[in-house]
Amino acid sequence: MYVCICNAVTDSQIIEAQNNGHKTMSDIRRHLGVGNCCGRCVETAKEVIRQNSGVQKYMPKVFATDILQPA
Ligand code: FES
């Protein structure tokens, strides 16, 4: 899937770059040019990076004890 139309960069290229040591959006931007033109792809590129690094979006921790405490 194309992530960056301006520079014809795909999600596979981003993942390959990440797996080859370009770990941050800045590194990948310098390496592939993602986001260097209109910038509309930046959030999608960041999401590809997040998913490939196994980082989930912030989810607050809810403990069962918080829910089951008697009032
Ligand atoms: S779509 Fe990536 S810079 Fe325009």
16-48 confidence digits (pLDDT tens): 999 999 999 999 999 999 999 999 999 999 999
The one-letter amino acid at 6: C
Q: What is the DSSP string of 7-55?
A: TTEEHHHHHHHHHTT--SHHHHHHHH-TTSSS-TTHHHHHHHHHHHHTP
Is the CB of residue 8 below 6 angstroms from any atom belonging to ligand 1? no
Residue 6 near residue 29, CB atoms below 8 Å: no
Residue 38 alpha carbon to ligand 1 centre in Å: 5
Boundaries of every domain in the chain: 2-68
52 Cβ contact partners less than 8 Å away, ≥ 6 residues apart = 14, 15, 18, 19
Does domain 2-68 correspond to CATH entry 3.30.1490.20? Answer: no
Is the CB of residue 6 below 6 angstroms from any atom belonging to ligand 1? yes
The SS3 assignment for 66 reads helix
Is the CB of residue 28 below 6 angstroms from any atom belonging to ligand 1? no
* pLDDT tens per residue across span 50-69: 999 876 554 455 554 555 55
The whole-number pLDDT of residue 66 equals 53
